[in-house]
Amino acid sequence: MPENLIPSYTIGIDLGGTNTEFGIVDSQGNILFKDRFPTATPDFESWSDLLSEKLSNAMEGFGLKGKIAGIGIGAPCANTTTGCIEAATDLPWPSPIPLVEILENKLGLPVVIGNDANAAAIGEMIYGSARELQNFIVLTLGTGVGAGIVCDGHLLNGRNGFAGELGHITFDFAADRKCGCGRYGCLQTVASAKGIVETTRRFDFKNPADPDNPDFTAKDVTLAAVHGDETAKRVFDFTGDCLGKALAQYAAFTDPEAIILFGGVANARNLLLNPTIKSFNENALHLYAGKVSINISTLNGADAAILGTAALPYIITK
Amino acid sequence: MPENLIPSYTIGIDLGGTNTEFGIVDSQGNILFKDRFPTATPDFESWSDLLSEKLSNAMEGFGLKGKIAGIGIGAPCANTTTGCIEAATDLPWPSPIPLVEILENKLGLPVVIGNDANAAAIGEMIYGSARELQNFIVLTLGTGVGAGIVCDGHLLNGRNGFAGELGHITFDFAADRKCGCGRYGCLQTVASAKGIVETTRRFDFKNPADPDNPDFTAKDVTLAAVHGDETAKRVFDFTGDCLGKALAQYAAFTDPEAIILFGGVANARNLLLNPTIKSFNENALHLYAGKVSINISTLNGADAAILGTAALPYIITK
Q: Answer whether B152's CB lies under 8 Å from B134's CB.
A: yes
Across the interface, of A77, A169, A172, the residue whose CB is closest to B287 is: A77
Nearest chain B residue to A170 by CA: give it. B249
Distance of CA A36 to the CA centre of its chain: 15
| A27 at interface of B, judged by CB pairs closer than 8 A | no
Which residue is closest to A152 within chain B, CA to CA? B158
On chain B, the residues whose CB falls within 8 A of the CB of A182 are 286
The answer, for B160 touching chain A at a CB cutoff of 8 Å, is: yes
Give me the interface pTM, i.e. the ipTM: 0.83
E strands along B55-162, which residues? 68-75, 78-79, 84-85, 111-115, 136-141, 145-151, 154-155
CB contact under 8 A, B257 and A159: yes
Query: For the whole model, what pTM was predicted?
Result: 0.84
From CA B301, how far away is CA B306, in angstroms rounded?
Answer: 9
Cβ of B135 under 8 Å from any chain A Cβ? Answer: yes
- CA separation for the pair B317, B312 (Å, rounded): 9
Residue A40 sits at the chain B interface (C-beta within 8 Å): no
Q: Is the dihedral of CA A180, A183, A188, A193 positive or negative?
A: positive
Could you read off the pLDDT tens digit of each residue along chain A, which spans 318 residues?
Answer: 444 444 479 999 999 888 999 999 987 788 999 999 999 998 999 999 999 999 999 999 999 988 999 999 998 888 888 999 887 777 888 888 999 999 999 999 999 998 778 888 887 887 778 888 999 999 999 989 999 999 999 999 999 889 999 999 999 999 999 999 999 999 999 999 999 999 999 998 877 788 888 889 999 999 999 999 999 999 999 999 999 999 999 999 999 999 999 988 999 999 999 999 999 999 999 999 999 999 998 876 668 789 889 988 877 655
3-state secondary structure of A52: helix
- 8-state DSSP, B66: T
Would you call B81 an interface residue with chain A, using a CB distance cutoff of 8 Å? no
Residue B159 has its nearest CB partner, among A158, A250, A257, at A257
Nearest to B154 among A154, A162, A166 (CB): A154
Residues in A closer than 8 angstroms to B139, CB to CB, are none
Please tell me which of the candidates B152, B168, B288 has its beta carbon nearest to residue A252.
Answer: B168
C-alpha to C-alpha distance for B315 and B313, rounded to whole angstroms: 6
Contact between chains at B168 and A255 (C-beta distance less than 8 A): no
Distance, in angstroms, between B216 CA and closest chain A CA? Answer: 29
Other CB atoms within 10 Å distance of the CB of residue A239: 26
Chain A positions touching B252 (Cβ under 8 A) are: 162, 164-166, 168-169
